[in-house]
Structure 1
Amino acid sequence: MNFKELLAEDRAVSPVIGVILMVAITVILAAVIGTFVLGLGDQVSDNAPQASFSFDFSATGDFDGGTDDYVNITHEGGETLDNSTISVDGDGTTTLALNDSGGWGDGTIQAGDQASYNGVDAGETIRVVWTNPNGGSTNTIARSTAPQ
């Protein structure tokens, strides 16, 4: 057996590479299809919505924690949001309460919709939080801090 002829022989290289590539493509396709069939692909596309909010803090109660201290939160633009996925919270000592003048309402939150919350403390950060309906993860989509 001549080793020079054995090393120079390259007839089997092309079919072997072809088979390896076909197997790799099959495995990748099976993984992608399996991911979506099992429902794992739905969670990949559940990103936080893009929306803009403005915060208008009252100066009536001088932010002393009284009932006159409130914030009006207005949806300025961006995606329409499902009301059941949105919550508003603060990091102050007083729990925020929906003002009698109204909240987001039922159904959806669209540009121009406004909600008013009582119980804002001086320097408190107010957050609009979106909760993923498919998995429970949360994202802060807007925040503002009350004046001191």
Structure 2
Amino acid sequence: MNFKQLLAEDDAVSPVIGVILMVAITVILAAVIGTFVLGLGDQVGQTTPQASFGFDYNGTALTVTHESGSSIDASLVNITSTVALDNSTGTELEGSGGTTATWESMTGDTEITAGSQATVLEQNANDLSSATVRVIWTSESGSNSATLQKWSGPDA
């Protein structure tokens, strides 16, 4: 066996490396194109905000307070209740007698920051003590939503 001839023959190295590189480039291009086609890149900026809300119920009114966390666009946050509410220009929830309204329509605020408050009042003798009130965030595109906080009355 001639070792010089064995070491001098490297014809098979280049084609193998070339094929591996072409496969890697194809996989990377397919992944990039797939994320744009499926719209996965649009969802990166639509993550649920991290915020904590507190509730203070005095028997007739419920005050919702943003206690801590990130600032949120008020038009993206809804306050929903299982009973009809006053102090909201909201829409009635079908079949439940409840309502939903944006934080912005209830308070006039454009941004919710720590310390921001919204007050929910009873309407037409609907007792909040048996209600469930939720603070719900919805992304600008409407494709994502999350309940940020939930309050149930003492009789719920």
Q: Say yes or no: TM over 0.5.
A: yes
Where does 1:96-135 land on structure 2 (aligned, <5 Å)? Answer: 96-98=85-87, 103-119=106-122, 120-135=127-142
Task: Give deviations 1:5-49, integer Å, cap 9, x for gaps.
Answer: xxxxx9636732542343223431453266358864022331111
SS in 2 for 1:44: helix
* Equivalent pair of 1:75/1:112 in contact (CA under 8 Å): yes
Task: Give deviations 1:51-73, integer Å, cap 9, x for gaps.
Answer: 110000122xxxxxxxxx22000
Letter in 1 for 2:15: P
Match of 1:75 in 2: 66
* CA distance in structure 2 between the aligned counterparts of 1:18 and 1:130, rounded to whole angstroms: 50
Match of 1:66 in 2: none
* Equivalent pair of 2:46/2:144 in contact (CA under 8 Å): no
Q: Which runs of 5+ in 1 are unaligned?
A: 1-9, 60-68
* CA distance in structure 2 between the aligned counterparts of 1:136 and 1:98, rounded to whole angstroms: 28
1:49 equivalenced with 2:56 (yes/no):
no
Q: Which runs of 5+ in 2 are unaligned?
A: 1-9, 89-104
* CA distance in structure 1 between the aligned counterparts of 2:12 and 2:85, rounded to whole angstroms: 74
Moved more, 46-55 or 35-44: 35-44
Letter in 2 for 1:135: G
* Count of residues paired in the alignment: 127
Task: Tell me the C-alpha RMSD between the 2 structures.
Answer: 2.9
* CA distance in structure 1 between the aligned counterparts of 2:143 and 2:31, rounded to whole angstroms: 26
SS in 2 for 1:122: helix
Amino-acid identity (%): 50
TM normalised by structure 1 equals 0.69
